[in-house]
Amino acid sequence: MDVILLQLLNGLDKGGAYALIALGLTLIFGTLGVVNFAHGALFMLGAFCAVSFNALLSLELVTIDPDKTTAWGTPLEIRTPYVEAYLGDFGAWLLNFSVPVSILLAIPVMLLVGFVMERGLIKHFYNRAHADQILVTFGLAIVLQEVVKSIFGANPIPQSAPETVRGAADIGAVLGFDPGVIVYPYWRMVYLGFAAVVIAAVFAFLQFTTFGMVVRAGMADRHTVGLLGINIERRFTIVFAIAAVVAGLAGVMYTPILPPDYHMGMDFLVLSFVVVVVGGMGSLPGAVAAGFLLGILQSFASMNEVKAILPGIDQIIIYLVAVVILLVRPRGLLGRRGVMES
């Protein structure tokens, strides 16, 4: 029982992450009709916003201790972070909370990245073939990740969650289990909550604002909306920027779980495409549903009991589910007819 409950938690947590990563991708598909292979790179850039913010905070005052030397004979440097030196306790607090606080940095940065990307590149590809879109965005993804690699190196860079949410919570005790049976890391629960909030915010934005209404109208029939004298292009720019921000935030908050490296975007790219397609191209609720479905099934497939019956099932479950769903439902869970079918 406890095993199943824990795997359900894992599944929800994974599902939240998958849905959050896929959300921006499906938004871009649905509105702009662009296959964005650079979406993983946006996720990675978000994560590196957190890394840079942390690095900025840990910029160090270097003083040289003349009495001691390093193993290779140069004088030993003593380092103290500037923020701690100048800001005292607040600096220490800031360093501790660097991951959540870097959201404040990531939002403007990702907005800018999204804006520049759409205006400078993607805009010119609206009417080009999907193959061209794939090639150009894939090229962009490689360039972005190589730039990050040349600055930060190829190794993962650890980011820690704030100290208060670093360990694991004994949630089983609350639910009436024996203590210590159902424990789950705080940060993963924070992530799940964060994912829920962001997803809800994006939905609300599209559902309840005039802007969202126009975008939804544009998704349904771009041509007519244009005829009505509405500048749909400009709204699309904003939609793209929002998608970039969502991907970036997903990246920021994921850093304590997965130490970021330059390649993490590519690692998530295929997965996010599978989630989006299983959900149905351009369908936001579909992407969320698919994210949770795949997350939960992946967790259960990894149970030793399941693997004993079907060896290797945990390796292929995501793809197997994708195949089955696409064969049963031609356009994924909630896809619309005619989107990305040609």
* Alpha helix ranges (H) inside 221-303: 222-227, 232-254, 264-279, 284-301
Footprint of another protein on residues 321-340 (CB under 8 A)?
A: 322-323, 326-327, 330-332, 340
For another protein, the closer of residues 229 and 311 by Cβ is 311
19 binds another protein (CB under 8 A): no
C-alpha–C-alpha distance, residues 266 and 142, integer Å: 9
User: For residue 175, what is the DSSP state?
Assistant: T
SS3 280: coil
71 binds another protein (CB under 8 A): yes
187 binds another protein (CB under 8 A): yes
Q: Give yes or no for a contact between 297 and 316, defined as CB atoms under 8 angstroms apart.
A: no
Q: Exactly one of 171, 183, 214, 230 binds another protein (CB under 8 A); which one?
A: 183
Footprint of another protein on residues 229-258 (CB under 8 A)?
A: 256-258
273 binds another protein (CB under 8 A): yes
180 binds another protein (CB under 8 A): yes
Contacts of 287 (CB under 8 A, 6+ apart): 19, 22, 23, 25, 26, 275, 276, 279, 280
* Stretch of 90-98, 194-202, 209-217, 308-316 contacting another protein, by CB under 8 A: 308-316
Please report how close the Cβ of residue 25 comes to another protein at its closest, in angstroms.
11
The candidate with the shortest Cα–Cα distance to 2, out of 179, 167, 165, 166, is: 179
Please report how close the Cβ of residue 205 comes to another protein at its closest, in angstroms.
26
For another protein, the closer of residues 217 and 326 by Cβ is 326
Residue type at position 261: D
Q: Exactly one of 143, 151, 194, 289 binds another protein (CB under 8 A); which one?
A: 143
* Stretch of 90-98, 204-212, 219-227, 263-271 contacting another protein, by CB under 8 A: 263-271
Please report how close the Cβ of residue 214 comes to another protein at its closest, in angstroms.
26
How big is the chain by its Cα radius of gyration, in Å? 22
319 binds another protein (CB under 8 A): yes
Q: Exactly one of 74, 227, 229, 309 binds another protein (CB under 8 A); which one?
A: 74
Site string for another protein, 107-136 (x = CB under 8 A): --------------x--x---xxxxx-xxx
6 binds another protein (CB under 8 A): yes
C-alpha–C-alpha distance, residues 7 and 328, integer Å: 26
185 binds another protein (CB under 8 A): yes
75 binds another protein (CB under 8 A): no
Q: Exactly one of 17, 27, 34, 284 binds another protein (CB under 8 A); which one?
A: 17
C-alpha–C-alpha distance, residues 244 and 120, integer Å: 15
Q: Cα–Cα–Cα angle for 254, 259, 264, nearest 5°?
A: 75
Determine the straight-line distance between the first and last CA of the chain, rounded to whole angstroms: 46
90 binds another protein (CB under 8 A): no
For another protein, the closer of residues 96 and 107 by Cβ is 96
Q: Which residues in 129-162 are b (16+ Cβ under 10 Å) and which e?
A: eeeebeebbbebbeebbeebeeebeeebbebebb
Q: Exactly one of 87, 105, 142, 230 binds another protein (CB under 8 A); which one?
A: 142
For another protein, the closer of residues 114 and 256 by Cβ is 256
Q: Exactly one of 81, 91, 212, 259 binds another protein (CB under 8 A); which one?
A: 259
72 binds another protein (CB under 8 A): yes
Q: Kindly give the interhelix angle for 232-254 and 210-220, rounded to the nearest 10 degrees.
A: 100
The candidate with the shortest Cα–Cα distance to 49, out of 114, 93, 142, is: 114
C-alpha–C-alpha distance, residues 297 and 277, integer Å: 17
